Chain A
Amino acid sequence: MKSYKKYFSINLALGLLLLVLSCEKKQEETTNSKVEISETEAPLVETASLDFSQIPFKNLSDYGFFKGKLKSLDPDEGVLLYEPASSLFTDYAHKSRFIWMPEGTAASIREDDEGSMDFPDNTVIIKNFYYPADFRKPEAEKRIIETRLMVKRNGVWDAYPYVWKEDQSDAIYKVVGAEIEVAWTDLQGKEQVINYIVPNKNQCKSCHNEKEQLVPIGVKAKHLNHEIRFAEGEKNQLVKWQEMGYLSDLNDPTTYPAMVDYNIPSHSLELRAKAYLDINCGHCHRADGPASTSGLFLTYEETDPLKLGINKTPVAAGFGAGTFKYDIVPGQADQSILTYRMSTNQVGAAMPEIGRVIVHQEGLELIREWINGLK
């Protein structure tokens, strides 16, 4: 049928033209009314004395994780900053992450490939999503959009989304999700505006899901087994956790898995690509995850070429397959479904399914480079 192609493409072009012409450009009114930023301090709350059975509380300030002005995100005692080596792309949002455990309790590292962890009851994981006004000055003015909490009680994790007030005085528990216009100046000095999507509560499990149980993603040895800056200087996070009493029975950190930071070009391209796929896709695309239906497994540990998508046909991709036959065609990023789905914003085709409304250009470039180098 290939010789018909020309005619189809003429028709297609005509169709597209019509489509474009008929598309009215919607003039969205952008409200530039600046809300005054509140400078009030949150009341002092001692996290340890909270009644955990009453969670979720109405306000983020009710938990006492941060001291002083809430928007400073200045952690109170026992609230420990952590950073995964590679991080999930969420529309260029910056993130700060903290963990809190009740005094006298500690997590332990399981003996699996990922170094997943067992956490004590009443562990709280706190993840803030914010946008610096100017990405070239990330420490200057910023706007916090949402804070997601994960709380473990009676052996079961639950997730609670909090949406920040415009005046940045506090964040309010909101289960139904939200759509918030966000603007920033990017690293190139260009103005960016998106409609950021706060997921609804049950969408948390679209990613945080292992055998239909809600689980954390970033707090595994493989994500934490590297140095970050603490008040006292650079230190391996696993060691720091142990010093804090948050980790028991820690062996030499080199005996645990460690994933690379995909942003560091000196790491091998393959490891960077697989780290990117792991943190952005591997939470669903794994044997125990929601995307197991596809047979496409994108974890750092996966080595089977078919499961990684190499010359693998899709199953239920629908228009997500674009015009392509295989998830990954070695040497041909332009012919691979993987990069196609990363490069589209069309709902239903875009991957990941939630968490972004724009394309991660740098991530896409990394995966393209990797696929183009595959033989």
Chain B
Amino acid sequence: MKGLRQYIPFFALVFLYPILFSCNSSTTEMTFDSSKLRKATQEETEKVIEQFIMAEDSMVIEIPAGFYALKTQLILDNKNHITIKGAGLTETVLSFRDLKAGGEGVKLVGNNITIQDLSVEDAPGDGIKSQHCDGITFRKVNVTWTNGDKSKNGTYAIYPVQCKNVLIDECIASHSKDAGIYVGQSENIIVRNSLAFGNVAGIEIENSDNAEVYGNTVRDNSGGILVFNLPGLPKSDGRGTKIYNNEILHNNHKNFATALSEDPNGNTVTMIPPGSGIVILAAKEVEIFDNRIHKNKTVGLAIANYHVTGFPMDAPNWSPFTSNIFVHDNDYQRTWHFPDFTKEFGQLISVYNAHGFARTQDIIYDGFWDKTISDNIQSNPMKICIREKEMEKIHFTLFDLWEGEDNIKSSKDYAPFNCEVQVKTDVSAIANL
């Protein structure tokens, strides 16, 4: 792709630049306007802080209606059976705009914790983080940033990490600079009936086992739903994710994870091309079915191996390859919008796909495979199975990137991937939490 860059003349760029970027939408849509809420007094605010600090097992922390301007973190310290309950998602707002120190607004540690019916705004780092929880439920929780300038927004909105038995239900996550709903290094996970919009990534499942993502609306993010495995983490490789019955719509938001002037940094999400419906990266055992994947301008579903990041791949108990993927019965609608040219991965898809310059793709596979298993990809060594209803109408591209960017090859041939593979998940134990 370097060659491409060099030959675009100087002046053309000046004109092209606003055109290219005007294709990337941006949204400042608000779920509701919290500025109309009654401001909580300092006493009321301190009472909330004290309730978190003094919490005992089996307590209910009720936070009455109001707008709470917090200067310090709300931390629940390793307690059991705690419910944190606001007066409603549009009634109780915890604002961390004035937070002076701390990595997240709310931090929850313990077992069987529920947080519900409230909003968290403007945390400088993450919105609500829960770590080392067994049993954590987020219900009717809204986490967002209200800055006009999205580059100042925080990282994750709803952020369970290193948890077991995670339920995220009827939540809203918007305008986060990384993933709105991010579940990392966890096991037994449901993300359902939730809405993620205006984030860089809508919903992300990372280095996690046994997850189901269903009934969500994921729209107007740069990337809709991501399933990643990253190297070098204590929970090294995750497996078993089902993504079904989701509305994955026009995720064409500009990627604001880094400033436009900057190349992607080491956060993988900075590489996500705007216009991506679903991206799976170094993922293991993922089934994607019955989703409506509409009007994502670059690609509906990208099946990628860690090789595309260009980052080092040496890590114990972890494989850079994506394997055992079953994609079926999804509904695709392409768009006439110009696909992405701002990210290298976007350029790859937009320029080198097998269907023509700047044509939106429904499914792409980057075509890396483990050569110790097979010497050719036609044998489908990584078990990538794609059985959509009208495959002949799908824009499918198989890339061959083994020879680097100077000799990128692509093909429409989906025949090697006409197969089925079983993906097992079982989240019945948390479905009724």
Q: Which residues of A contact B (CB under 8 A)?
A: 1-5, 7-9, 11-12, 175-177, 179, 195, 197, 199-203, 205-206, 211-213, 287, 290, 292-295, 306-307, 311-327, 337, 346-349, 353-357
Contact = CB atoms under 8 A, between A and B. Distances in A.
Interface in B234-264: 234, 257-264
A325 B54 CA distance: 41
B56 interface: no
15 contacts: A1-B5, A3-B5, A4-B13, A8-B261, A176-B53, A195-B100, A202-B73, A202-B76, A211-B132, A315-B184, A320-B125, A347-B100, A347-B101, A347-B102, A348-B125
Interface stretch (B154-162, B355-363, B392-400, B422-430): B154-162
Interface stretch (B44-52, B188-196, B208-216, B280-288): B44-52
Interface string B89-109: 000000000011111000001
Nearest to A326: B266
A200 B232 contact: no
Given A3-B13, A7-B14, A316 B156 contact: yes
A199 B261 contact: no
A3 B54 CA distance: 56
Contact of A200 (B49, B123, B257, B342): B49
Question: Chain B contact residues: over half helix, strand or loop, or mixed?
Answer: loop
A321 B77 contact: no
A3 B17 CA distance: 11
A131 B312 CA distance: 45
A85 B263 CA distance: 41
Given A175-B50, A203-B73, A212-B109, A12 B261 contact: yes
B260 A8 contact: yes
B432 interface: no
Contacts of A323: 258, 262-263, 265
A292 B154 contact: no
A120 to B, nearest CB: 23
Contacts of A206: 75, 102-103
A313 B206 CA distance: 15
B372 interface: no
Contacts of A353: 101-103, 125
B344 interface: yes
B124 A348 contact: yes
Among B17, B54, B101, B124, max chain A CB count under 10 A is at B101
Interface string B52-94: 1110000000000000000111011110000000000000000
Contacts of A195: 100
5 A-B pairs with the lowest CB-CB distances in the bound complex, closest first = A318-B155, A8-B261, A348-B124, A348-B125, A202-B75
Interface in B101-139: 101-103, 109, 123-126, 131-132
A200 B73 contact: yes
Given A175-B50, A293-B234, A321-B266, A306 B13 contact: no
B296 interface: no
A353 B124 CA distance: 11
B100 A179 contact: yes
Contacts, number: 180
Nearest to B231: A313
A11 B17 CA distance: 11
A318 B312 contact: no
Contact of B53 (A202, A325, A347): A202
A357 B155 contact: no
Contacts of B315: 306
B185 A293 contact: yes
B184 A347 contact: no
Nearest to A159: B77
B311 A325 contact: yes
Nearest to B155: A318
A200 B75 contact: yes
Given A3-B5, A176-B49, A326-B266, A11 B261 contact: yes
Contacts of B234: 287, 292-293, 295
A328 to B, nearest CB: 11
Contact of A5 (B161, B233, B261): B261
Contact of B178 (A7, A199, A205, A316): A316
Question: Chain A contact residues: over half helix, strand or loop, or mixed?
Answer: loop
Contacts of A9: 261
Contacts of B26: none
Among A320, A346, A347, A349, max chain B CB count under 10 A is at A347
B265 A203 contact: no
B100 A318 contact: no
A339 to B, nearest CB: 14
Nearest to A204: B77
Contacts of B78: 205, 212-213
A315 to B, nearest CB: 6
Nearest to B233: A295
A295 B185 CA distance: 11
Nearest to B206: A315
A311 B312 contact: yes
Among A199, A293, A320, A349, max chain B CB count under 10 A is at A293
Given A292-B234, A315-B233, A321 B267 contact: yes
A315 B46 CA distance: 33
A203 B100 contact: no
B75 A318 contact: no
Given A200-B49, A203-B102, A319-B177, 19 more contacts: A1-B343, A2-B5, A3-B5, A8-B259, A8-B260, A11-B261, A175-B49, A202-B52, A211-B132, A212-B78, A290-B131, A314-B267, A316-B184, A317-B267, A321-B265, A321-B266, A323-B263, A347-B102, A353-B103
B50 A325 contact: no
Among A11, A199, A315, A326, max chain B CB count under 10 A is at A315
B261 A313 contact: no
Contact of B266 (A175, A295, A314): A314
A324 B265 contact: yes
Nearest to A310: B312
Contacts of A176: 46, 49-50, 53, 72
A318 B266 contact: no
Given A3-B8, A8-B261, A205 B124 contact: no
A197 B178 contact: no
Nearest to B261: A8
Nearest to B259: A12
A7 B18 CA distance: 10
Nearest to A347: B124
A357 B101 contact: yes
Contacts of A287: 234
